[in-house]
Amino acid sequence: MRVISKILSIGFLILFFAKIGFTDEFNFRKTNWGMSIQQVKSSELLNVFKENESMLVYKTTVTGKDVLLVYIFTGNQLVRAQCH
């Protein structure tokens, strides 16, 4: 019985870590690092509040507080995102 338990435990761990390495999850909201400005705009349901070649800014609410959601780009690639 102990051998079967160990085999099942090892199998579970292999599947768990395989899922972590090959996930289709996003990095932030519905975006991934390296996306273009246009791709990020397409992923957001919010209206753009402010935009230039290095950032997109949206107004939204997080945990009941009004915040600015800022996506920051370098060379038209998403490199950072933050809420203020």
Q: Is residue 3 part of a domain?
A: no
Q: Is residue 18 part of a domain?
A: no
Q: Is residue 75 part of a domain?
A: yes
pLDDT tens sequence across 42-83: 999 999 999 999 999 999 998 899 999 999 999 999 999 998
Q: Closest Cα partner for 76 from 32, 33, 27, 37?
A: 37
Whole-angstrom Cα distance, residue 18 to residue 29?
Answer: 23
Find the domain containing 79 and state its range. Answer: 26-83
Q: Is residue 4 part of a domain?
A: no
Number of structural domains (the chain) is 1
Q: Is residue 13 part of a domain?
A: no
pLDDT tens sequence across 56-66: 999 999 889 99
pLDDT-derived band at 26 (thresholds 50, 70, 90) equals confident
Q: Is residue 11 part of a domain?
A: no
